């Protein structure tokens, strides 16, 4: 599950220790200090210090319960590309594993296409996965893209459209392939917000009117499934969520049906007893 955006190093440390009490927090603090020095004086389009970005990326990685190596690499992921820091310096300060992860993220950001076929979304996704000999490289890149999407409003409209389209075609499907459902949902919602703002606003308003009723339905289904598991002597974790806007859009477009019917169909499908 996603958490609020991390804005302070102590928040990050607390989050890491919540699932990894024995984490090397001094290493995390050293990486934060290194990143702060490397990015000193740099700002984002929003006007906030650039350091907020790697800190937020590391925060997203804690939502994935990533290890300290990945979190440190998240704090450092832009130092080689956007500052005077070098790969050798990172390796000397933080070791080969962290330097290798940062290098992998940097290489993904520099992918160049030789022809039209390579530029197709599916080929790009395959290229990203093939370039990353460590899945943590992909996770860091996805965390980077998620925070960039969360702050996309500070870019001009052309750039927003370009990044949102790329995210929808490449990065959201990658999260789906890796089984990170909550990130896929948020990325798709943000893509819809910038690619079809009028549709997003109207749909969000209609969905909000039914939120309480739908949440009650989800809670009831969860209760029934948990009871069924307990009666069968099975252990398991049961979670539920309300359908996001893009899920409604897919069904709406596919069926050419009104939103009300689409939402009703979703409820009916969720209520059926599994065979």
Is residue 196 left, alpha or beta, with left meaning phi > 0 and alpha meaning psi from -120 to 50?
Answer: beta
CA-closest candidate to residue 142, choices 182, 114, 197, 96: 182
Task: Give the span between the Cα atoms of 40 and 184, in whole angstroms.
Answer: 32
| 3-class SS of residue 160 | helix
Q: With the CA atoms of 120, 121, 124 and 129 taken in that order, what torsion angle do they form, in degrees rounded to the nearest 10? A: -150
CB-based contact 121:167 (threshold 8 Å): no
Q: Which residues are catalytic?
A: 81-82
Which tokens sit at 145? Answer: 């893209």
Q: Any residues with CB less than 8 A from the CB of 104 and at least 6 apart, and which?
A: 131, 132, 133, 134, 137
Taking CA atoms, 108 is separated from 23, 39, 154, in Å, by: 28, 21, 24
CA–CA–CA angle 46, 51, 53 (5° rounding): 65
List the beta bridge partners of residue 49.
43
List the beta bridge partners of residue 43.
49
Using only the alpha carbons of the chain, give its radius of gyration.
21
Taking CA atoms, 22 is separated from 13, 67, 71, 108, in Å, by: 11, 11, 14, 31
């Amino acid at each position: 599950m996603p958490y609020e955006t991390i804005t302070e190093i102590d928040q990050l440390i607390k989050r890491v220790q919540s699932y990894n009490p024995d984490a090397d927090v001094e290493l995390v603090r050293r990486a934060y200090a290194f990143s702060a020095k490397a990015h000193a004086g740099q700002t984002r389009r929003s006007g906030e210090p650039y350091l907020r970005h790697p800190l937020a990326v590391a925060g997203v990685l804690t939502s994935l319960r990533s290890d300290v190596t990945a979190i440190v690499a998240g704090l450092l992921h832009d130092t080689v590309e956007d500052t005077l820091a070098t790969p050798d310096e990172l390796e000397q300060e933080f070791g080969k594993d962290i330097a290798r992860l940062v290098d992998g993220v940097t290489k993904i950001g520099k992918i160049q296409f030789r022809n039209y076929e390579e530029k197709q979304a599916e080929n790009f996704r395959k290229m990203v996965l093939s370039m990353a000999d460590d899945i943590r490289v992909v996770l860091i890149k996805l965390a980077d893209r998620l925070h960039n999407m969360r702050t996309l409003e500070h870019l001009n409209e052309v750039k927003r459209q370009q990044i949102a389209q790329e995210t929808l075609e490449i990065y959201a499907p990658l999260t789906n392939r890796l089984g990170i459902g909550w990130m896929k949902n948020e990325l798709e919602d943000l893509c819809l917000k910038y690619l079809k703002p009028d549709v997003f606003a109207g749909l969000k308003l209609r969905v909000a009117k039914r939120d309480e009723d739908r949440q009650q339905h989800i809670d009831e289904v969860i209760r029934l499934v948990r009871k069924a598991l307990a009666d069968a002597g099975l252990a398991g974790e049961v979670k539920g969520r309300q359908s996001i806007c893009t899920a409604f859009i897919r069904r709406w477009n596919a069926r050419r049906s009104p939103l009300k019917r689409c939402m009703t169909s979703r409820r009916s499908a969720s209520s059926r007893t599994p065979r």
